[in-house]
Structure 1
Amino acid sequence: MPLNHLPACSCSDCHQNEISRAEKELHLKLSENSRRDFLKKAGRLGLGLGIGGGLIAGPTAASAMDEEDAVLRLHEMQRSKAVQNNKASILTILHTADIHSQLLTHDEFFIENGKEVYKKRGGFAVLKTMINSLRNQNPANTLVIDGGDCFQGGGVAALTEGRAIVPLMNNIGYDIMLPGNWEVVYGKEMMMKDMFGYNGVKVCANMFHDTKDAQHEDLIFPPYYIKYIAGIKIGFIGYNDPLTPKRQSPAYSNGIRFAFPEENIQRYIRLLKEYEKCDMVFLLTHMGLAQQIGLSNKPETMGADYILGADTHERVRKPIEGKYARVTEPGAFGSFIAKLDIVVEKGVVKDRSYQLLDVDPYKYKEDAEMKLLVTKAREPYKKELDKVIGKTKTPLLRYYVMETPMDNFITDAIMWKFKPDIALSNGFRFCPPLVPDAKKGYAEITKDYLWSMLPVDSEAKKGIITGRQLWDWMEKELHNAFAKDPAKRFGGWVVRFNGMQVNFTIDRELGKRVNWIKVNGLAVDFNKEYSFVACEREGDPDTTICRVEGVDEPTRLGYTLHRVIEEYLAKHSPIAPKMEDRCTATDAPHNLLTQLMGYGYEFR
């Protein structure tokens, strides 16, 4: 007798059926013969050229508006005769990404008049109020979209494998969702349960089931979505970072095959434009700003209007003009919403306006329903998460590309505990700042904040490498962050360390960037062996630690990084980490905030 499943069942069989239904629905409109004919005609284009320049330099966007002009333009659009007389409509797209499970209002970092400034921003209850307010301004023609990395990055998310975050996103009412590189952190099955728990449409055209029987068409999610809105037909195609299995623990992506967008992006754009007759095509991507601009300059994206990007937490305040598409990215942690308004008259785009808006708790009150949902989500773990494990007298910050106070603190703790020659930590981007209270002179570090700093409580692992290995590995890590071809960039920012100093030049080729490395104050000796400690990455070979390959004497140390941090704080709190020139470049400031230069862009 077959089992009777509940409507909300989350078993793998039901999710597989849901995926199968989605795939069937996706191709229902195309007869098999016409579909085959179309795909044969569409084919694939060759790879385009990457952008030159180590920091990805480019021209200023010709049609970019400053923020004041964007506001004025929007007001003019709303007051136009065509809109007032209902002869034209305004399409509004609200875009968030990289929320990283930051449930509560938190400290946020800004650059104003060349100075660092901190403000309170974000929080799910504030985010919901703001989205509702913006949606109510244009209720019939507003879409709310998230670009991924949502259910990883905080304590509640980690302790529930993302499940507690899904109802919160559903309560906001997102229309379209894209998986990000960290959506795989709990494994393929949990990713599918979490993603298919969303009420909104899921899209991703480059994540496939990696099984012996899988064919090229076995996508995990529908590749695109079509919507009639504001008098036009628009299409969305989704792309996650194809290098996800390399940039984090390989085991997370078991059972998933990733493809580069160039493999099918032109096929889907042409399908939407030529067969489905879409008036506009949006690419919803989670690949990083430099990579997305690189993609926008490739002929494969011809026919796309916008790349709504994510991953590097960049704050694009003006759409960046690529050769074939405009590129945006909406910051991170629920601190910002990107708002794109497009005037449509008789099916034709007449005008457009774009703003990056702060999720400001002083402007928008907390939504009572969401506040209660967040409280309930935290309740089973509240006592543990709110436990104070230490204090800091200086801001904990992770926005800088080359070195950060937060990661200096983490590698200080590793060095103190295990006393290797070198302590390493990955160049993570997630985790908002933590700023000392002006009156108290310190900020409390909680277990919840520890989960934000290190959402995966990995085991510490020790190994031995030569100076030659260290140098070659550093060259590869710098290439991951600053490759001239954006498609070859992956991972977070530059790897973090204690016990060594590195000086390099960004605008050089692979193998020629490093100028010098010092270990314990002395020039690195290529023939000498050095001990180092970093975190274990599940799925790596035993002789690989933190992407360092061919390690001798690999040893798991029986301590997780959380335990190391807590013991360090118990001994050394209050801490006061700062920038120490552990990592410097000849052609960039020590507080570099982005990989991208030019295109009218600055991080602030």
Structure 2
Amino acid sequence: MNDRRLTILQVNDLHGYLEPHPEVFRGSGSFDYRTCGGLARIASIFKRVRAERPGAVLALDNGDTFHGTYVAVQSKGEAMLPLMNALEFDAMTLHWEFAYGPAHVRRLAAALDYPTLAINIYDKASGELVFAPSRVVERAGLRIGIIGIASNIVDKSMPPSFSEGVRFTLGNTELPGHIDRLRSVDKVDLVVVLSHLGFAQDAKLAGEVPGIDALISGHTHNRLYQPVWIGSTPIIQSGCHGSFVGRLDLTVADRKIVDVRHELIRVDEAVEADPEMATRVAETLAPHRAFLDQVVGRVSSPLDRATSLEASMDNVLLDAIAAAAGTRLAFSNGWRYGAPILPGDVTMEQLWNIVPTHPPISTVELTGEELRAMLEANLERTYSPDPYCQMGGFVKRCRGLNMYFKMENPKGHRIEDLLVDGAPVQPGRRYRAAMLGEQGVPAKYGSQRQKLEVDAIESLQQWFAQTDAVSGRRRGTVVAI
């Protein structure tokens, strides 16, 4: 067989970001912020590469696509359908799409011009797969089998409504059979796995399961500037928010990859916006523009979610919900997504970017034992040495306490010191806290839950209205020692 050249383009964890926005870049002891992203720029990259490599481009979307911004959430992803179809992807898989419930995910998938793939989502009643496990496409004279693996944590760490009537597996036991079928029955030349398990999970998976020619990874927002090789399998992942496009060029001979080239393409001002997509995006946002552009306050320092233990953006959110609830303690989920907010005016659009789930605020009472147990469980879900046991985003966001922990310690024994108001947490004492939604404090912990009349966005509006210039500095609330 003559050498064949295939190009794979990847977007992962778009989170509903249609326009350019600030993005974090690491500098010398500090963060820099640059404007990146936008579907119009992504469309230009796709068109350019397809023109360079006619008939030889495979475009893949790892999911976390239709949720994360006001327009995405208010339309339950439907406003984005024409835009994503215009990019002409070949397949996608899923995660935060399930915020709208499985029935609506099916409707979104049916409206796409490309298939939604998942070998690990089952209907509880029938036991059948909810989505096709794979598809075969022909590019560059090659038959390519694409296998989808959705995020497995939807029914394990997210609200029950996300997984009503369906169950999720890791997919590692099913994957070998699907690879064998594609090779023996469908006679494919290459097998590409499109996964939303996360980079650490995908690396373990690639080490366990032979026969993966390329693994396109998502979920953990890693910027892989070079492919990570696990045995003979290259893995790529390309940041988040549409700030990067991954490009993987494969040279194939006799059904084997003989050369790999990779580029993490920054979607910045150097990329000219595609006029047609720019018009589509503007039309999609036009009905909401006046609402989204309302100025609600100011920030004096950058807000971001770029760090695992605590983040300036979440400290502002915690301050707002604590003020609304009249508590010192406050907890929210350790979300990874949410574009930075730079010093200056803050708009309603940016408030929704902070907390697009828009959950209610509740108060809860936790004993000292429950407080420690909840935080130990969260640390295990975040830093388990077994990637398959990692079940979430960043460390739970905390206000009003100080936690010092050893990341390398075994499960249940990481916290060395846990303080509230500078005093060690007392096992028998009860602590009242504010929390967001169902994930702020899981249902198994605490008592005396009371839902307030104010919700997350309203609390932020109130906080910005009463503060001349909000600051969200990092406070050393959670410290690895």
- Name the TM tier (shorter chain): over 0.9
Counterpart residue type for residue 277 of structure 1: K
- Normalised by the length of structure 2, the TM-score is 0.97
Partner of 1:185: 99
Partner of 2:187: 277
Q: Secondary structure at the match of 2:100?
A: coil
Partner of 1:205: 119
Equivalent residue for 1:385, pick from 292, 305, 310:
292
Q: In 2, distance between residues paired with 1:291 and 1:348?
A: 25
1:102-126 CA deviation, whole Å, 9 max, x = no partner? 1111111112455422211111111
Equivalent residue for 2:18, pick from 103, 128, 136:
103
Equivalent residue for 2:239, pick from 331, 343, 357:
331
Tell me if the contact between 2:331 and 2:440 (Cα under 8 Å) persists in the aligned partners.
no
Partner of 2:303: 396
Aligned-pair distance for 1:208?
1.6
Partner of 1:507: 408
1:565 aligns to 2:460 (yes or no): yes
Counterpart residue type for residue 356 of structure 2: P
Kindly report which structure 2 residues correspond to 1:14-413, keeping only aligned pairs within 5 A, or say none: 87-113=2-28, 115-179=30-94, 181-211=95-125, 214-215=126-127, 218-298=128-208, 301-323=209-231, 325-345=233-253, 347-361=255-269, 363-413=270-320
* Structure with the bigger percentage of strand: 2
1:405-429 CA deviation, whole Å, 9 max, x = no partner? 0001111112222222410111001
Aligned-pair distance for 1:232?
2.1
Q: In 1, distance between residues paired with 2:289 and 2:262?
A: 39
Gaps of 5+ in 1: 1-81, 437-441, 538-543, 587-604
Tell me if the contact between 2:249 and 2:262 (Cα under 8 Å) persists in the aligned partners.
yes
Partner of 1:449: 350
- Normalised by the length of structure 1, the TM-score is 0.77
Q: Secondary structure at the match of 1:183?
A: helix
Tell me if the contact between 1:421 and 1:519 (Cα under 8 Å) persists in the aligned partners.
no
1:133-157 CA deviation, whole Å, 9 max, x = no partner? 1221102100111000111000100
Aligned-pair distance for 1:209?
1.7
Say what the alpha-carbon RMSD is for the aligned residues: 1.6
Q: In 1, distance between residues paired with 2:440 and 2:364?
A: 8
Counterpart residue type for residue 556 of structure 1: K
Partner of 1:533: 434
Q: In 2, distance between residues paired with 1:504 and 1:555?
A: 30
Distance change >3 Å, CA 125–CA 564, structure 1 → 2: same
Gaps of 5+ in 2: none
Distance change >3 Å, CA 550–CA 396, structure 1 → 2: closer
Q: Secondary structure at the match of 2:469?
A: coil
1:435-467 CA deviation, whole Å, 9 max, x = no partner? 22xxxxx2x221111111111111111111110
Tell me if the contact between 2:4 and 2:142 (Cα under 8 Å) persists in the aligned partners.
no
Q: How many residues align?
A: 481
Tell me if the contact between 1:545 and 1:551 (Cα under 8 Å) persists in the aligned partners.
no
1:279-307 CA deviation, whole Å, 9 max, x = no partner? 22111000111111121222xx1111222
Equivalent residue for 1:552, pick from 421, 444, 447:
447
Partner of 1:78: none
Aligned-pair distance for 1:348?
4.3
The higher radius of gyration belongs to: 1
Q: Secondary structure at the match of 2:342?
A: coil
Aligned-pair distance for 1:565?
0.7
Counterpart residue type for residue 126 of structure 1: R
Tell me if the contact between 2:330 and 2:433 (Cα under 8 Å) persists in the aligned partners.
yes
Distance change >3 Å, CA 209–CA 234, structure 1 → 2: same
Q: Secondary structure at the match of 2:453?
A: strand
Aligned-pair distance for 1:389?
1.1
